[in-house]
Structure 1
Amino acid sequence: MRSARFALALGCTLSVTLAACSDADKPAAGADGQSEADTSTLAKAQEAGRIRIGYANEAPFAYMDSSAGQLTGEAPEVLRHVLDELGIKEVEGVLTEFGSLIPGLQANRFDIIAAGMYVTPERCKQAIFSNPTYGIGSAFVVREGNPKALDSFAAVAQDDSARLGVVVGAIEAEYADKSGVPAARVVVFPDAASALAGVQAGRVDAYAATSLTVNDLLGKGKATGVERAEPFTDPVIDGKDVRGYGAFAFRNDDTALRDAVNEKLAAFIGSPAHLEAVSPFGFTEAELPGDTTAAMLCGEG
């Protein structure tokens, strides 16, 4: 997967999950340069033992398992482990359209985005990110036989009759634009299920998503008349092969929470316990992020 965007509570003391209410309420920075506001969300969540997270109901990244009545997916399961180590035992999910996740975070509807969101320089202007928990490429869902032979974003750009489906706010819209696909031939859907239905109904010729999203959609046994485009070539943007890296997002002033999560992630990602936790969602060692950091992805180093 993946993309982004907005109140204030009646008072800071009414909710354990809210950050500081206003600049006027923030204590001055201490000798170490870190203000009380930097630690308020983490401290309040640890005191309460719970925190709210935003997700967009997109398997395998984050979704509600209706049979179990529980929020699950790669992001929630990794985050649960990390938060548990921080003394935060309860996670409350807030379902949000993907394109409204960052605005919802900024508006204090929840404190962490756990939706497999890709780290991009544009998003780094709106939120701060943990180091990534995975790295993957893109894929297309096409009609059986791939009648237009769409095996890349470039192929869509070159075929004036080809229409491409993307999910609102998802990074694939940017890939399409930078690959030369005209906006008039890009159809935006609210979620992955409706984009799949769009391919099946012939509204679009291909649906672009992460490779794991496509695997999950086609693995449910109900995706008749469609298939994954094979072979497929990831887009080349600004001279570089694109590989998406997903991470958790936080409000800009929640550096203490972000840093605490990063510390736990460093010990967990790639461990046997981590691989066991994410394997039910199709993640393997091939999707490990390696040495890639949020700073690198944000263009900071």
Structure 2
Amino acid sequence: MRSKRKKGLLSLLTLSTVFILSGCQLFGADEEETTLERVQREGEVTVGFANEQPYAYQTAEGELTGSAVEVARQIMENLGVTEMDGVLTEFASLIPGLQAERFDMVTAGMFITPGRAGADHVQFANPEYTIGQAIAVEAGNPLDIHSYEDIAETDEATVAVPSGTVEYDFLLDVGVPADRIITVPDMPSALAALQAGRAEVITATGPSLQSILDTAADETIERVEDFTQPIIDGEEVINYGATVFRDTDDDFIDAFNEELENLKDSGELLEIIEEFGFTEEDLPGDATVEDAI
């Protein structure tokens, strides 16, 4: 009798499990939720940033802002996501952090490059701006440096650059020896290296460099105004900056691109980035991520 009861209970439990699993499948509980669906449901998105003005940085009051951040913030609000949580990360760790799902996307003004676009598990949205490089040196420019090529040809010139940036590759491409390139975590560290005499040159994009110089207000340091943009593979470098996603987030990228296009069409994109030192000349026009690679 006991054996029959045990068998009956076991059968009942088995049937209950089957019905529960069937119910889950019926109501779609086993369907994987996309990142876009999750952040829209939660109303919050987590972004990785590298504390580099004017693209993405934290104010003294702890507020996350910057041109890339504010573009992404407006787009996410248009998609129904009103909260943005920032994760501060060194620039070189942004893509690995995205791949490891530490955040949902990267808003750091990151340049679209073939190497990054080909990295495992990441994709760029369409460009938000286009920009060139700039350099700063000791006031008076004692080494008479006006280009990356000048850095390569001046044996006593050492240049400091944040790790993971395209400037590092550009410097190598024009012939600057790796042992004369100092990699640092961020632009404040690069400026400190120049101020301390550990580097004779620092480089970044024009808005980023100008922002750090304006903040420092150090009269012993100057931006080289007559700077010649680097020539890579016979062409002057044109850089496009964009937001980065995991390559599984196609619906997220499509929705982001659609809202970015709306910002461009309405003129809101220029209004947002103008506050951070960009001009109409820095707009990406009709360029897509494919054009930028």
Does the pair score TM above 0.5? yes
Matched, 1:146 2:133: no
150, 155, 164: which one aligns with 1:155: 150
Partner of 1:114: 107
Q: 2:270 touches 2:283 (CA, 8 Å); kept in 1?
A: no
User: 1:270 touches 1:288 (CA, 8 Å); kept in 2?
Assistant: no
Structure 2: runs of 5 or more not aligned? 1-24, 26-30
TM-superposition CA deviations, 1:245-270 (whole Å, max 9, x none): 10000001011101100000011036
Q: What is the SS of the residue equivalent to 2:54?
A: coil
Q: Report whether the alignment pairs 1:87 with 2:86.
A: no
Aligned partners of 1:143, 1:292: CA distance in 2, in Å? 37
Say which is worse superposed, 250-259 or 273-282, in terms of deviation. 273-282
- After superposition, residues 1-301 of structure 1 pair within 5 angstroms as 40-67=34-61, 69-126=62-119, 127-269=122-264, 271-298=266-293
Task: Decide which structure has the larger Cα Rg and report it.
Answer: 2
Contact 1:45 1:51 in 2 (8 A): yes
Q: Taking structure 1 as reference, are residues 90 and 192 closer, same or farther at Cα in structure 2, changes over 3 Å only?
A: same
1:270–1:285 Cα contact (<8 Å) kept: no
CA distance in 1, matches of 2:129, 2:169: 20
> What TM-score, normalized to structure 2?
0.86
- Shift in Å at residue 272 of structure 1? 3.2
Give the letter for the 2:223 counterpart.
R
Task: Give the superposition deviation at 1:154.
Answer: 0.4
Structure 1 residue 223 displacement after superposition: 2.6
d(CA) in 2 for partners of 1:269, 1:235: 29
Alpha-carbon distance in 2 for matches of 1:261, 1:186:
36
Give SS of 1:115's match.
Answer: strand
Distance 1:150 1:270, change over 3 A: farther
Q: Which amino acid aligns with 1:57?
A: N
Distance in 2, Cα, partners of 1:140 & 1:77 = 26
Output the CA distance in 1 between the equivalents of 2:48 and 2:190: 22
Give the Cα separation in 2 of the matches to 1:144 and 1:287.
Answer: 28
8 Å Cα contact 1:139-1:228 kept in structure 2: yes
Would the aligned equivalents of 1:217 and 1:223 in 2 still touch at CA under 8 Å? no
What's the C-alpha RMSD, in Å, of the aligned pairs?
1.5
Contact kept, 8 Å, 1:142 with 1:205, in 2: the verdict is: yes
Measured after TM superposition, the shift of residue 49 of structure 1 is 0.7
The one-letter code of the counterpart of 1:58 is: E
Pick the structure with more helix per residue: 2
Q: Percent identity?
A: 44
Which residue pairs with 1:19 in the alignment? none
SS at match of 2:34: helix
Structure 1 residue ranges, 4+ long, deviating more than 3 angstroms after superposition? none
Query: How many Å separate the matches in 2 of 1:148 and 1:211?
Result: 21
Task: State how many pairs are aligned.
Answer: 262
